Chains A and B, each alone.
Chain A
Amino acid sequence: MDEYVKTGSKALKDVFWIFVIAFALLFMHRKPEEANTIYYTLAFPVLIFIVYYLHVRLFPLGEIQFVILTAFLTEMGLIMIYRVAPELLVKQIIWIAIGFGLYFIASYLFKHYGWLYNLKYGEYIYIFLAVGLIISTLFFGKEIGGAKNWLTFDGIYVQPAEAAKVIYIIFLARYLKDKRDLKNILILGAITIGIAGIFALEKDLGMAFLFYTTTVLMVFLVTSNLFYVASGFGLMAIGGILAYFLFWHVRVRIEAWLNPWMDVPGKTYQIVQSLFAIAAGGFFGTGLGMGHPEYIPVVASDFIFSAICEEFGILGGIAIILVYFVIMYRGIKVALEARDEFGALMAAGLISMFSLQVFTIIGGVIKFIPLTGVTLPFVSYGGSSMVMSFFTLGMLNGISVGEEEEDVQFEAQY
């Protein structure tokens, strides 16, 4: 146990030195315009160490690795954001601080998650909340970057779909815990196809894919029935083909995926720039400040992975992917060790959604699958995504802490 903690703090020290070297270089490369930027940047390592200390104190049995890994990911994000869009840095640091706060709140909220299951009419409440959040942007939403998935409140932009993700997972866990015969699975399928349809109308294909695939995975988890999975993916293929012929924006995406060289200055500009950036990086990257990530469109949010690949090389990119694998491993472990089926399902759903999101965007920017705009959790710039990613990990931490504490209480009984 002792060595366990020691290795953790050594890993955190590595994160700190990466921070020092990278930001020393960056501040030399481009002098910060305001003193504020420097103060906030210096606040970041302090924040990480406070969070680490608090986590060790409050949840001695919790998933401390989540803090170490997210510290690394958010830091890589900050480095790249300062590189491509320095004015966003301060905002991003504030979002990270809020995110860590929510992480602790979620940990406490979900330590005793039984009430979520026992809530009367729970599944109806969850599904109406989730669908309500998703539909809200269809009526009141604002279109940014091609997808109508934003709400604005006095200049603050939020993506309700991010919150809907978590609520939808709770709904799935609650629903599938008791209802798993053919009729109920069919009802669930109809609901999911409806949700994917709403997303398709909002032109948010990434989210449609995420919600749909997560549901298929969860159904497989509870029924272990390959037929459901096969028909689920079959329907997705049919839906994809239909969407290809029905919607113009789907056709553009798929054509850009099949042949990115057909219209480089126009339709396929994004993906081609991303590929150029990754190619320019090579193994070790161009070095911080030496590449041209500013040529990539929306580089601070969706395409941040290409920018990292350019300046840190493919080795840096692989490191990011490996870190996501470790988070996935921890999440699956939480699911395996959860104290009841509801908790296990919830943890499995959360981590599947999280991992699928990572797969969707990294696969998209390296042209492994058609590009869809979702954010890279913890790395991309974006408030809603950052906050909800932290919330997700907080829930997982809560589920794992809860079960451990149950044990301790158990021991005291005579």
Chain B
Amino acid sequence: MYYILSQILKYVLIFLIYLFLYRVFKIIYMDIKGVRRERQLTSAKLSFLTGERTFTLFEVTSIGRSDECDIVIESPYVSARHALIKKRGKRFYIEDLNSTNGTFVNGKRVKVARIKNGDIITLGDVDLKFIV
């Protein structure tokens, strides 16, 4: 009796062990995919106050004068790598990358700050509006 039970259940146990492994690897898969998501577009936008251009933001977006940035602003007052906008959960944060002329949110100089819909972001001499 015990013999039969043990023989049947050994397959069940192996099945459960591999189900467990499948889930563990699924978590890793999601983990790696999460890193790649940095390049995914979000619904948030950044537009010039003058209305000439509108950019769509990534999960992580870099802003600056250099061509390597995701958003390139050609102004002598903007640093090569000026600021970074990150999405964390549903919130957006702007981070100043030690720029020369600073990053301002609604007129206040910030290092790292949360930004909300309608906030005015000033980089050097450029005013941008943040729209979700």
Known: A312-B14, A313-B10, A315-B17. 7 other contacts (CB 8 A): A14-B16, A14-B20, A65-B24, A288-B13, A289-B6, A315-B14, A411-B114
| Distance between A400 CB and nearest chain B CB, rounded to angstroms | 13
A316–B17 touching, CB < 8 Å: yes
Which partner residue on chain B sits nearest A411 by CB separation?
B112
Q: How far is the CA of A22 from the CA of B112 in the complex (A)?
A: 52
B21–A312 touching, CB < 8 Å: no
Q: Is A338 an interface residue (CB 8 A)?
A: no
A329–B28 touching, CB < 8 Å: yes
The one of A1, A22, A312, A326 that contacts B25, using a Cβ cutoff of 8 Å:
A326
Q: Is A11 an interface residue (CB 8 A)?
A: yes
For residue A326, which residues in chain B have a CB less than 8 angstroms away from its CB? 24-25, 28
Which partner residue on chain B sits nearest A288 by CB separation?
B6
B10–A14 touching, CB < 8 Å: no
| Distance between B94 CB and nearest chain A CB, rounded to angstroms | 10
By secondary structure, the A interface counts as helix
- B1-40 with Cβ < 8 A to chain A: 2-3, 5-7, 9-14, 16-21, 23-28, 30-31
Q: Is A290 an interface residue (CB 8 A)?
A: yes
A414–B110 touching, CB < 8 Å: yes
B24–A68 touching, CB < 8 Å: yes
Q: How far is the CA of A311 from the CA of B7 in the complex (A)?
A: 11
Which partner residue on chain A sits nearest B27 by CB separation?
A7
Q: How far is the CA of A22 from the CA of B20 in the complex (A)?
A: 15
By secondary structure, the B interface counts as helix
For residue A412, which residues in chain B have a CB less than 8 angstroms away from its CB? 112
A25–B20 touching, CB < 8 Å: no
- A19-41 with Cβ < 8 A to chain B: 21-22, 25, 28-29
The one of B2, B5, B24, B110 that contacts A11, using a Cβ cutoff of 8 Å:
B24
Chain A residues packing against B (C-beta within 8 Å): 1, 3-4, 7-8, 10-11, 14-15, 17-18, 21-22, 25, 28-29, 65, 68-69, 72, 284-290, 311-313, 315-316, 319, 322-323, 326, 329, 410-414
The one of A25, A69, A285, A414 that contacts B24, using a Cβ cutoff of 8 Å:
A69
B2–A15 touching, CB < 8 Å: no
B28–A284 touching, CB < 8 Å: no
For residue B31, which residues in chain A have a CB less than 8 angstroms away from its CB? 4
A414–B23 touching, CB < 8 Å: no
The one of B7, B20, B26, B108 that contacts A287, using a Cβ cutoff of 8 Å:
B7
Across the A-B interface, give the 5 residue pairs with the lowest CB-CB distance, nearest first: A287-B6, A11-B23, A14-B20, A287-B10, A319-B17
The answer to whether A414 and B11 touch (CB under 8 A), given A3-B30, A25-B6, is no
The one of B26, B28, B108, B112 that contacts A413, using a Cβ cutoff of 8 Å:
B112
Q: How far is the CA of A14 from the CA of B13 in the complex (A)?
A: 10
B112–A284 touching, CB < 8 Å: no
